[in-house]
Amino acid sequence: MPRRSRLRREEGLALVAVLLLMLVLTLLGGAAFVLTATDLKIGVNAQQQVGSLYAAEAGVQSLLAFYRGAPGAFFQKQTGGTLPLPEADTGAVSWEEYRIWLAALRYDPAPLPRYVELTVQAREPLSRAAARVKAVIAHNPLPGPFQIGLVSAGRVQLSGAVLQTGIHANAGYVLDPAQAEELRQKQHPLSQSVDPAAADYRPPLPQPFLTPADLAYFRNLAGSGQNLLLNGNRELFLTGNQQGRLIFVEGDVQVQGVALSGVTLVATGAITLAGSTSLNPVQQIDTALIAGRDVILKQEGPTAGVFWAGGSFVPEGFGELQGMVISQ
């Protein structure tokens, strides 16, 4: 073979080899780029997923802090706009760049709930990375008297009243047989502490006193947010839903209420309520009257609430009374 032909053949082989090498390097570079981009995307997605999880956990913590600061909201089974989280994705940023909302909420069906089950969802709007956190917020069991409804250190005697609550009387009770049977059929507790041999005997239940620590707790809460702290004897006119507000009065207070709801009223002295209170829009009790001395009701219509009196509970008016009564 002539020398020139051999050189041309070798040059052609070298060119092919160089082209093949460049192709291999290009493929390797492309693969490396794809792998790097994929790893970067996976890392960003993982980071956003972790961020969504942290945001959902932050939502749970905000609800826990809310219930600690407003225990009445827990016992009144509040929902909707009264809670710090919306019940659907409103598009508003709730925590850093994340949207947080309450995907599910279910209270203990007992009249005084012991727990609330909830699901908080969070989402990052650009990547749509999302996470859900399910949690149970519970409280320590309430003292026995608060779990029953109507508790008396003395004797309970009722006739003709329609009862839908538990009853315990340390000194015994006298009810119409039909009343007692209806309570048992509806599984309301009915007990007494007079006859140890009776099937409905329960040990005596002491009525809890409002302690200085209890009053200090409510006083501290009244000094924050929408709550109200008042000194001296007061006359108040309150109408409609008070949106979970706590009002603390250092002294006696006389209240004129018109369809009053959503309020916790605490007084170191006596509370006199004239008018009426009502259930909230979902037919739940969300009003509480807590007095260091007497609670006096001058009812002018239906009255619903939790009534805790350090002295006497005195219903002077007419109309239906719903709720729980604890009285010395």
DSSP reduced 3-state for 18:
helix
pLDDT in tens, 111-144: 667 788 999 998 888 777 888 889 888 876 555 5
- Judged by DSSP in three states, 215 sits in helix
Between 15-24, 32-41, 47-56, 232-241, the lowest mean confidence (pLDDT) is in: 32-41
Closest CA to 245 of 229, 268, 267, 269: 229
Instruction: Write out pLDDT tens, residues 70-83.
Output: 777 887 788 877 88
Q: Dump pLDDT digits (tens) for 78-106.
A: 887 788 888 888 777 776 788 888 889 99
- Express as a percent the part of the chain with pLDDT over 70: 80
DSSP summary character for residue 209: P
With 90 as the cut, is the pLDDT of residue 233 above it?
A: yes
CA distance 29 to 244: 64
DSSP conformational letter for 318: B
Given a contact cutoff of 8 angstroms between Cβ atoms, the answer to whether 238 and 228 are in contact is: no
pLDDT at 249: 94
Q: Are residues 157 and 139 in contact, defined by beta-carbon separation less than 8 angstroms?
A: no
Q: Is the pLDDT of residue 181 over 60?
A: yes
Using CA atoms, how far apart are residues 169 and 154, in angstroms rounded to an integer? 6
> What's the pLDDT tens digit per position in 187-210?
788 888 999 999 899 898 876 677
- The pLDDT value given to residue 312: 84
Give every CB contact of residue 295 below 8 A, 6+ residues apart in sequence: 270, 271, 273, 289, 307, 308, 309, 311, 312, 313, 314, 327
**Mean pLDDT (whole number) for 274-301:** 82
User: Which residues are bridge partners to 327 per DSSP?
Assistant: 309
Report yes or no: 179 and 157 within 8 Å, Cβ to Cβ: no
pTM score, whole prediction: 0.52
| Distance (Å) of CA 101 to CA 153, 162, 206, 278 | 46, 42, 43, 29
Could you report the per-residue pLDDT of 17-47, keeping only the tens digit for each? 666 666 666 666 665 555 555 555 555 566 6
Three-state SS at 244: strand
Question: Quick one: average pLDDT of 229-251?
Answer: 90
- The pLDDT of residue 258 is 87
- Tell me the pLDDT band of 266, cut-offs 50, 70 and 90: very high
